[in-house]
């Protein structure tokens, strides 16, 4: 079958190639024929060899990229009861597995959630990975449909895939959202539900943040970088009340890439312990969020984005043959929202 994959560890090009068919599902797995997917920053990093010692320790190549998408269930394992053949599903898969840029994928049943009539393929294709991480970050920041009402949330990096999904969900649940992103994206963030917008400079200059919770989704300027000194955390420490800081910008993959698997993981553990302890001395709960395959997060996304008031976050559309060129660009285009990839439309 046709797939888009990298073929070796360091600075590999993404190429279209024939790979063996997706295997027959094990009891807890499903096989899905892919229709569409999206682009996530992690795949660009994986193509440079970043994090390979952790996500692909055995060096298995070719490695298919693509972390999410939409497709149709072709076969189910004997223990899968929540999905049936012929259903349209939304997917999200860990960087530890072969991805979704393929005609068919065999994945754990927990990585797929059935779609209702009201959610289009294009809307569902872009939400799985970014949306699951956004839901997990919102939860880490004490926000869900029950706890969000009236809570003041600041989202740093609100205009990307994670941010545009999280802003809509938090605002829809009744939180007061301040969106921090480049000024050119402010009008769209207001449409998505932000009650206030700021650019990065303004947020950095604040003595105290207008927030009970802060979530950081902003890609660091250096690829794969993280923030040792974090001015947002410092400003949050000066406010009063219950405060929580959740970030998806974690040093783990960078540290294992630079220092090797075990020393990198030890450093990441020590770094996390130091950050948690220093934040807690100032009354802030500090949390790092790493994407996890989770059927509840997918179900929450399907529920939210099936409603009439949810807005599409697609800002750009590519056809699958454009993927190799897209991944050969040294810097990602700075486009808000999500890029949809039409893979194998039916
Ligand atoms: N921990 C995890 O498991 C996990 C999972 C998914 C994603 N992530 C990470 O979370 C971040 C956001 O993911 P995403 O899918 O939302 O990415 P994205 O769509 O590319 O969005 C990037 C966001 O960062 C902002 N940004 C600020 N400075 C930037 C810079 N120098 N270069 C590029 N963007 C910059 C952008 O805002 P403006 O353009 O408005 O300035 C935008 O809001 C990425 O770094 C990604 O690798 C982590």
Would 294 be classed as within a structural domain?
no
Residue 149 CA to ligand 1 center (angstroms) comes to 26
Distance between CA atoms of 341 and 34, rounded to whole angstroms? 11
| Residue of minimum CA distance from atom 29 in ligand 1 | 219
**CATH number of residue 147's parent domain:** 3.40.50.720
The tokens of 140 are what? Answer: 């880490």
| Burial group, residue 235, by CB count within 10 angstroms (0-12, 13-18, 19+) | buried
Examine the domain organization and report whether 117 and 194 are in the same domain: no
Examine the domain organization and report whether 234 and 283 are in the same domain: yes
Would 308 be classed as within a structural domain?
no
Question: Relative to the CA of 136, which ligand 1 atom is closest?
Answer: 3
With contact defined as beta carbons under 8 Å apart, do 35 and 343 qualify? yes
Distance between CA atoms of 333 and 186, rounded to whole angstroms? 18
Would 302 be classed as within a structural domain?
no
Distance between CA atoms of 76 and 93, rounded to whole angstroms? 17
pLDDT in tens, the chain (346 residues): 999 999 988 777 999 999 999 999 999 999 999 999 999 999 999 999 999 999 999 999 999 999 999 999 999 999 999 999 999 999 999 999 999 999 999 999 999 999 999 999 999 999 999 999 999 999 999 999 999 999 999 999 999 999 999 999 999 999 999 999 999 999 999 999 999 999 999 988 887 888 899 999 999 887 556 666 677 777 777 776 678 999 999 999 999 999 999 999 999 999 999 999 988 888 899 999 999 999 999 999 999 999 989 999 999 999 999 999 999 987 788 999 999 999 997 7
Would 200 be classed as within a structural domain?
yes
Ligand 1 is surrounded, with C-beta below 6 A, by 40-42, 130, 133, 157-163, 181-182, 185, 217-219, 221, 248-250, 289-291, 334
Distance between CA atoms of 159 and 186, rounded to whole angstroms? 8
Mutation to probe ligand 1, out of 185, 201, 219, 257 (largest number of atoms < 8 A from CB): 219
Would 183 be classed as within a structural domain?
yes
Q: Is 301 helix (H, G, I), strand (E, B) or coil?
A: helix
Examine the domain organization and report whether 163 and 58 are in the same domain: no
With contact defined as beta carbons under 8 Å apart, do 35 and 69 qualify? yes
* Preceding peptide of 85 cis, ω within 30°: no
Q: Where are the beta strands (DSSP E) in the chain?
A: 2-6, 15-18, 29-38, 63-64, 68-76, 88-92, 104-108, 112-114, 152-156, 176-180, 196-198, 213-216, 243-247, 284-288, 314-319, 338-342
Residue 217 CA to ligand 1 center (angstroms) comes to 5
Examine the domain organization and report whether 143 and 259 are in the same domain: yes
Global pTM? 0.96
Find where tokens 């660091």 sit: 220
Would 304 be classed as within a structural domain?
no
Residue 80 CA to ligand 1 center (angstroms) comes to 34
With contact defined as beta carbons under 8 Å apart, do 254 and 226 qualify? yes
Examine the domain organization and report whether 121 and 220 are in the same domain: no
Examine the domain organization and report whether 273 and 143 are in the same domain: yes
The tokens of 132 are what? Answer: 């699951």
Examine the domain organization and report whether 48 and 151 are in the same domain: no
Domain count, the chain: 2
Question: Relative to the CA of 45, which ligand 1 atom is closest?
Answer: 47
Question: Relative to the CA of 42, which ligand 1 atom is closest?
Answer: 47
The tokens of 196 are what? Answer: 């206030």
Residue 97 CA to ligand 1 center (angstroms) comes to 22
Examine the domain organization and report whether 282 and 139 are in the same domain: yes
Examine the domain organization and report whether 114 and 162 are in the same domain: no
The predicted pLDDT at position 346 comes to 74
**CATH number of residue 116's parent domain:** 3.90.180.10
| Residue of minimum CA distance from atom 2 in ligand 1 | 290
The domain in which residue 147 lies consists of 130-288
Distance between CA atoms of 279 and 289, rounded to whole angstroms? 16
Examine the domain organization and report whether 259 and 170 are in the same domain: yes
C-alpha distances (whole Å) from 300 to each of 82, 132, 166 are 15, 9, 12
Examine the domain organization and report whether 281 and 164 are in the same domain: yes
Give the up-direction half-sphere exposure of residue 164: CA atoms within 13 A in the CB hemisphere.
25
């Amino acid at each position: 079958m046709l797939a888009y994959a990298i073929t070796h560890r360091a600075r590999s090009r993404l190429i279209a190639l024939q790979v063996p068919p997706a295997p027959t599902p094990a009891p807890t797995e499903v096989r899905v024929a892919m229709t569409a997917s999206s682009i996530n920053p992690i795949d660009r990093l994986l193509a440079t060899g970043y994090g390979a010692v952790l996500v692909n320790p055995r060096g298995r190549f070719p490695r298919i990229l693509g972390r999410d998408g939409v497709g149709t269930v072709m076969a189910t394992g004997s223990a899968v009861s929540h999905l049936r053949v012929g259903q349209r599903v939304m997917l999200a898969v860990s960087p530890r597995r072969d991805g979704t840029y393929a005609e068919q994928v065999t994945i754990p049943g927990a990585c797929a959630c059935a779609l209702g009539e009201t959610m289009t393929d294009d809307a569902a294709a872009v939400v799985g990975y970014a949306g699951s991480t956004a839901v997990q970050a919102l939860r880490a920041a004490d926000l869900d449909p029950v706890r969000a009402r009236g809570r003041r949330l600041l989202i740093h990096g609100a205009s990307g895939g994670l941010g545009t999904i999280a802003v809509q969900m938090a605002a829809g649940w009744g939180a007061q959202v301040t969106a921090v992103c480049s000024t050119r994206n402010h009008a769209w963030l207001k449409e998505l539900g932000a009650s206030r917008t700021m650019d990065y400079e303004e947020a950095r200059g604040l003595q105290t943040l207008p927030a009970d919770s802060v979530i950081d989704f902003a890609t660091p300027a250096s690829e794969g970088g993280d923030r040792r000194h974090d001015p947002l955390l410092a400003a949050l420490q000066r406010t009063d009340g219950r405060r929580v800081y959740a970030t998806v910008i974690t040093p783990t993959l960078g540290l294992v890439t630079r220092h090797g698997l075990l020393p990198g993981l030890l450093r990441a553990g020590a770094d996390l312990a130091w950050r948690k302890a220093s934040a807690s001395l100032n009354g802030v709960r500090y949390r790092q969020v790493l994407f996890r395959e989770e059927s509840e997060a997918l179900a929450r996304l399907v529920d939210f984005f099936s409603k009439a008031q949810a807005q599409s976050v697609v800002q750009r559309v590519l056809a699958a043959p454009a993927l190799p060129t897209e991944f050969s660009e040294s810097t990602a285009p700075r486009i808000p929202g999500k890029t949809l990839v039409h893979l194998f439309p039916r």
